[in-house]
């Protein structure tokens, strides 16, 4: 069984053709790997170049979101302001109609408030005068009276009569110190 020389030559040509095809395929594969590697390098460089832009874009987007939130909050605030102006206008319009009927009640309430404040002032003055002892700073006013004085003073301050409170305190303390000075001058203690 011998192999025919023509078949051998054909087989040899096919083997050479396959080898050449494999080499071309390997060359193409190597070229593709080089091209893809170049793309990878370029994409990496592009990503690195784009990163600061992406960061700035993100910061700008956040700024826009914050501005939108502020604008919405401002709209709500302005809406409340508009509502209060509308309510004020209604109150001013409405109060003129019923002002005559309610002015007597309002005057009476103001008179009662003024009388109550005068009573508070008198009580404050009376307690300071009665219990002030000008001798020793530690015992100027008995400790049991201090909470009552504090409450009265607090009520006067809340009612907006801080100046009167200061005047009463100053006058009472001046009288108390004057009395003590006179006693000391006469030799009394």
Q: What is the pLDDT of residues 165-186, one digit of tens each?
A: 889 888 887 777 776 666 655 6
Q: What's the pLDDT score for residue 127?
A: 84
| Neighbouring residues of 145: CB distance < 8 A, sequence distance ≥ 6 | 127, 131
Q: How would you write the chain as a 3-class SS string?
A: CCCCHHHHHHHHHHHHHHHHHHHHHHHHHHHHHHHHHHHHHHHHHHHHHHHHHHHHHHHHHHHHHHHHHHHHHHHHHHHHHHHHHHHHHHHHHHHHHHHHHHHHHHHHHHHHHHHHHHHHHHHHHHHHHHHCCCCCHHHCCCCCCHHHHHHHHHHHHHCCCHHHHHHHHHHHHHHHHHHHHHHHHHCCC
Residue from 133, 156, 135, 155 nearest 145 by CA:
133
Interval 64-93 mean pLDDT:
79
Q: What's the pLDDT score for residue 22?
A: 94
Whole-structure pTM value: 0.31
| Neighbouring residues of 124: CB distance < 8 A, sequence distance ≥ 6 | 149, 152, 153, 156, 165, 168, 169
pLDDT band for 29, please (50, 70, 90 cuts): very high
Task: Say which range, 35-44, 135-144, 163-172, has the weakest mean pLDDT.
Answer: 135-144
| pLDDT at position 88 over 90 | no
Interval 2-25 mean pLDDT:
88
Mean of per-residue pLDDT scores for the chain: 81
Q: What's the pLDDT score for residue 34?
A: 92
Which one is predicted more confidently, 119 or 73?
119
Q: What's the pLDDT score for residue 26?
A: 95
Q: What's the pLDDT score for residue 76?
A: 83
Q: What's the pLDDT score for residue 21?
A: 93
Residue-wise burial string across 5-33, b where 16 or more C-beta atoms lie within 10 A, e elsewhere: eeeeeeeeeeeeeeeeeeeeeeeeeeeee
Q: Are 159 and 115 in contact (CB under 8 A)?
A: no
């Amino acid at each position: 069984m011998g192999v025919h020389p023509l078949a051998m030559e054909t087989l040899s040509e096919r083997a050479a053709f396959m080898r050449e095809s494999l080499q071309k395929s390997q060359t193409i594969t190597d070229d593709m790997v080089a091209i893809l590697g170049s793309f990878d390098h370029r994409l990496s460089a592009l990503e690195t170049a784009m990163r600061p832009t992406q960061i700035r874009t993100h910061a700008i987007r956040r700024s826009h979101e914050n501005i939108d939130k502020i604008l919405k909050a401002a709209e709500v605030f302005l809406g409340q302001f508009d509502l209060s102006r509308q309510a004020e206008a209604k109150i001013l319009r409405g109060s003129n109609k019923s002002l005559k009927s309610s002015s007597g009640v309002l005057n009476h309430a103001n008179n009662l408030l003024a009388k109550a404040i005068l009573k508070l002032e008198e009580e404050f003055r009376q307690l300071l005068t009665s219990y002030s002892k000008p001798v020793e700073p530690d015992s100027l006013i008995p400790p049991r009276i201090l909470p009552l004085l504090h409450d009265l003073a607090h009520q006067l301050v809340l009612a907006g009569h801080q100046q009167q409170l200061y005047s009463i305190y100053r006058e009472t303390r001046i009288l108390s110190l004057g009395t003590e000075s006179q006693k000391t001058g006469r030799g009394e203690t």
